[in-house]
Structure formats: structure tokens, C-alpha cells
Amino acid sequence: MRSEQEFMVQADRYLNGEMDPAEKMAFEQYCGQNPSAAEQLETHRLFLQQLKRHAERAAFKRTLASVAEQYHRSSATPPTVVPREPVLVALWNRFKVNSLVAASVAIIAVFSTLWLSGYYKTIEKTTSNYSALRRDMNTVKKNVNAQNAVIRTISSEKQNGARSTGHFGATGFAISPNGYVVTNYHVVKDADSVHLQNTRGELYRADVIYIDPTHDLAMLHISDSTFTPTKHIPYTFKETESDLGEDVYTIGFPRDEVVYGQGYLSSRTGYAGDTTAYQLSIPVNPGNSGGPVIDSRGQVIGIISGKQTGIDGASFAIKTGALLKSLSAIPMDSLDSKLTINRKNLLAGLKRTEQIKKIQDYVYLVKVY
């Protein structure tokens, strides 16, 4: 049995690889025969390993410390000590660019979509919730086209002239016996040709002789040779303003048949405080535009022009005063025949139904192509 010290010396040499092969074999053999010696060797090995690691780590720490010291000394200027910002500010700073890009993309997307979908065109048309009451006949047109197609297959040669009806339908009424008719400007705007149809179904060509876009008025003259002037028209035009609560009615063509509507004058001003118009509470629909507003004594007090969308019973009518003023602006010598305003009222005292019977002959369905 060797002494422990001797064993340790050999163990050190063994672990350092300083033994020659024969010596090494003898040592390994000895350890193989003595479990306690082998254990001692293993413990020694692990211990030395630990010792080495410690030394290496200590060395590393020293190097690191010196590097750190050098670094901190060289950058002695206190590094930008950023005061801690609120979370939101920090977030903003970090994502400023991203959010700006995102925002601009969103804005471009929104507006280009709006533009592409024709939103601005619609907005131009209806900058307000005021809706003009001309009747869009495109749906009718489609139906009629379909019908025409059917008719054509049945009897293909005939019916060549009977094409679709106009794009728009509205109402107009005579202001003089010799064929002058008033309606709304928005009805005849962009019109190729205008036709008037009375309640008996007679159709006349009409010319637009004067327009007044500010008051939304248009003057038509029936140029058709089949038109026979009457002696006089039954109603008069009331120049003074009517009072609130005045019982009024209108006759118009919201569909192809004449329709009567009754209501009352609810405000002396029109849409958005327009003093040249009344507000009426009267049921009107697209197609009523240009219809006369008549009071109980048979005087025309206004012309239906539109209504406010989204609000019940807010229709608007242009005051007769504005109509007369507009008429007086027409250069009289440019007219074919004289335009005289009727002063003789044939309706006063008549029952409502009788009044309507007389009036309806002078109210026309305006067809705009």
C-alpha cells in the first residue's frame, strides 16, 4: 500500500498525462483493483476541474472588469440619459413613422375609394338633404323596354315610333291661356326635348324659353300646332304672401295619372331659411315638382319644388312672388305671343272638387327626354 501522498503525486502525473505508457498501465491497473483508489482519483479529478474553472472564471472576470473600466473611462461623458417617457410617448416615438405611413395609406384608400365609387358626384348633387322632386323614369323605361321587346316579337313591324318614355317626369301648369307653362328648372335641366301631356292624354311638344336656375324655375311654351289656346285660365296668382296655416292643395303627376294632394302652409321660409319659398306640410313625391300650390280660393301661391329628406311633412314650394318676378325678367319682345298673367279668378267660391275639375286641364305631365 502506497502512502496517500505518493498516490496523489501519481494521480497528478496521471491526470497531466506525464506518465509513460507502462507506468500509466500499471497505475490504471492499480486503480482497477482498488475501488477506493479509483474513487479517490475521480474525486481528485473533479476537484481539480473545479479549481481550474474557478481560476479561469476569475481570470475572465478580471479581464472583463478591466475592459469595462477602460470602456467607461473612455466614454466618460455620461451617456445620453434618456428620461423615462410616458408609455404613450415612447410608443408614439417608436411607431411614429409606421403610424404616419399607415395613416396616409388609410387616407388615400378612403378618398380614392370614395372618388372611385362616385361619392363626390353624388355629394355635388345633394349637398343637402334637399331632394328635388322630379321623377326618374329609368325604372319605367326598363319595364317599357321589356314590354317593347315582347311587343316586337309579337308584331315586329309595327310600333317603331313607340320608344321608351322620357328620362324624367314632373308637373307643370299653364300661366297663360296661350301655351305658356311653368315648371322647375331642375326638371328641364340637360333636357334634349320636352313634351307636355295633359289629363286627357294629349301630347304637345314644348320649348324651353326661359330658365331661372336661382329660383329653380323654367318657362316652357307649347310650340305644337295641334295646341289650341283657351280663352283664359281659371286660377290667379297671389302676389302677397300667404299666412301660416293656410289650407293648400296641389295637383301633380307623381305617376302617369294626375294626383291630388292636400296640406297646409307650415312655414314662411323654405329650405335653410330660403325666403323665396314656403315650407308646406303636404304629401309630395318625385314627379310632383313643378305642380301648382293652390289655396282654398283658387289662387296659386307657389310651385312645388322639393322636400327635405328624413323629415316628415317638410315640402318646399317656390313663392308666386318669385315666379312673377322671374316672369317679369323675361324680355317680352323675344316671345312669339304675348304673355299675360291672368287676373280673373273663376274658382273662388267653388267647391274643392269643382275647382280641381277646372284646374286639371291646365296641369301638365312634363316629360323630359
Partner 1 sequence: MSKVNRSVVPEADLRAVDGIARGDTTVLESLYRDYYPMVLNMVIRNNGSEEEAKDLFQEGVIVLYDKVRQGEFELSSKLKTYLYSVCRRLWLKQLGAQERAFHDVSGFEEVIPVSDDLATHRETEIQLTLMEQALNKLGEPCRTIIHDFYILNLSMQQICDKFGYTSSDNAKNQKYKCLQRLKRLFFSST
Least CB distance from residue 51 to partner 1, whole Å?
Answer: 6
62 vs 357 by CB, closer to partner 1:
62
Least CB distance from residue 274 to partner 1, whole Å?
Answer: 59
> Taking the alpha carbons of 149, 287, 130, 183 in that order, is the dihedral positive or negative?
positive
Least CB distance from residue 25 to partner 1, whole Å?
Answer: 24
Yes or no: say if 174 and 234 are a contact pair by the CB < 8 Å rule: no
47 vs 115 by CB, closer to partner 1:
47
60 vs 260 by CB, closer to partner 1:
60
The string of DSSP codes covering 136-186 is E-HHHHHHHHHHHHHHHHHSSSS-SS-----SEEEEEEESSTTSEEEE-HH
79 vs 161 by CB, closer to partner 1:
79
Least CB distance from residue 73 to partner 1, whole Å?
Answer: 11
26 vs 65 by CB, closer to partner 1:
65
Task: With CA atoms as reference, report the closest residue to 343 among 217, 234, 241.
Answer: 234
Most distant CA pair in the chain, distance: 155
Least CB distance from residue 272 to partner 1, whole Å?
Answer: 53
Residues lying near partner 1 in the complex (CB under 8 A) are found at 5, 8-9, 16, 47-48, 50-61, 63-68, 70-72, 78-79, 81-82, 84-85, 87, 90, 94
Residue 195 CA to residue 253 CA, distance in Å, equals 14
Least CB distance from residue 12 to partner 1, whole Å?
Answer: 8
DSSP, collapsed to helix, strand or coil, labels residue 202 as coil
Count CB-CB contacts under 10 A for residue 196. 25
Least CB distance from residue 23 to partner 1, whole Å?
Answer: 18
Q: Which letter, b or e, does each residue of 56-74 get, where b requires 16 or more Cβ atoms within 10 Å of its Cβ?
A: eeeeeeeeeeeeeeeeeee
88 vs 150 by CB, closer to partner 1:
88
What amino acid occupies position 83?
P
47 vs 260 by CB, closer to partner 1:
47
